[in-house]
A = this chain, B = another copy of it.
Amino acid sequence: MPLREYLPFWNKLTDNQRQTLLNAAASRTVHKGELLHSGSSDCVGLLVVKEGQLREYVLSDEGKELTLYRLLPPDICLLSASCLMPSIQFDVFVEAEKDSEIFLIPSEVWRSLMHQSLEVSNYTLELMGERFSDVMWLMDQVLYRRMDARLSAFLLEESVLSGSDEMELTHETIARHLGTAREVITRMLKYLHNLGAVALQRGGVRILDREKLIKLAEGSLR
């Protein structure tokens, strides 16, 4: 899909503004595991996901990760251009979780449009509202949902994203997604295994009983 299909305000731009965007937006192929944005030290710009999957996460002082959310086509990553909004005072990291195709729109170009076009400014507000909502949902999960439910929901989500019941996932990787310690995940996976919900294999997890896992995720089975 061409760039304009991802930008709902395209028809409201002037010819000049469209041309500026088309000239500035770079099509890039990024590889699984590649770090696209690293905290406040850089401000690469907005990332438009054409194909693949990006992951946005934060790091604690002790180096612990927590996945905030995933970006799938046609999502747009805004926080990789956080320098556009000086009031954003936290650091996010963005990595490609699969080989991906993206458009990169440089921060400076977006900043200029935000100060020329009401549509771009209000759309940026919409984007930030979406991400804010994602984080509020996560806060609710972290605070009030038991780890067995969060782990079950995570495994179900992973199997949808990977299109398979069999997932390559180390305990360490899962712990980084959920912002907890590896030991906690190891204990929880054994618990899910004892319930017959999953099978544990070398470097991976296989879903055995999806229904049971859904109930666990909902908190209606313990």
Q: How far is the CB of A91 from chain B (nearest CB, A)?
A: 9
A136 proximity list for chain B (CB < 8 A)? 58, 89-90, 135
A7 at the interface (CB under 8 A from B): no
User: Within residues 84 to 143 of chain A, which ones have a CB less than 8 A from any CB in chain B?
Assistant: 85-90, 114-118, 121-122, 124-133, 135-140, 142-143
A179 at the interface (CB under 8 A from B): yes
Give A contacts to B, CB under 8 Å.
58, 60-62, 64, 66, 85-90, 114-118, 121-122, 124-133, 135-140, 142-144, 179
A131 proximity list for chain B (CB < 8 A)? 132
A115 proximity list for chain B (CB < 8 A)? 118, 122
A139's nearest neighbour on chain B, judged by CB, is B139
> Out of B89, B116, B124, B133, which one reaches A88, CB within 8 Å?
B133
A135 and B87 CA atoms in complex are apart in Å by: 13
A58 proximity list for chain B (CB < 8 A)? 136, 139-140
A117 proximity list for chain B (CB < 8 A)? 118
Q: How far is the CB of A58 from chain B (nearest CB, A)?
A: 7
Q: How far is the CB of A115 from chain B (nearest CB, A)?
A: 6
A129 proximity list for chain B (CB < 8 A)? 85-88, 128
A128 and B130 CA atoms in complex are apart in Å by: 11
Q: Is the CB of A126 within 8 A of B60?
A: no
Q: Is the CB of B135 within 8 A of A132?
A: yes
Q: How far is the CB of A167 from chain B (nearest CB, A)?
A: 24
A137 and B135 CA atoms in complex are apart in Å by: 11
A85-B129, A89-B130, A124-B125 known; 5 new pairs, CB 8 Å cut-off, are: A87-B129, A88-B132, A115-B118, A116-B118, A121-B122
A127's nearest neighbour on chain B, judged by CB, is B87
A144 proximity list for chain B (CB < 8 A)? 60-62, 64, 179
A114 proximity list for chain B (CB < 8 A)? 118, 122, 125
Q: How far is the CB of A193 from chain B (nearest CB, A)?
A: 26
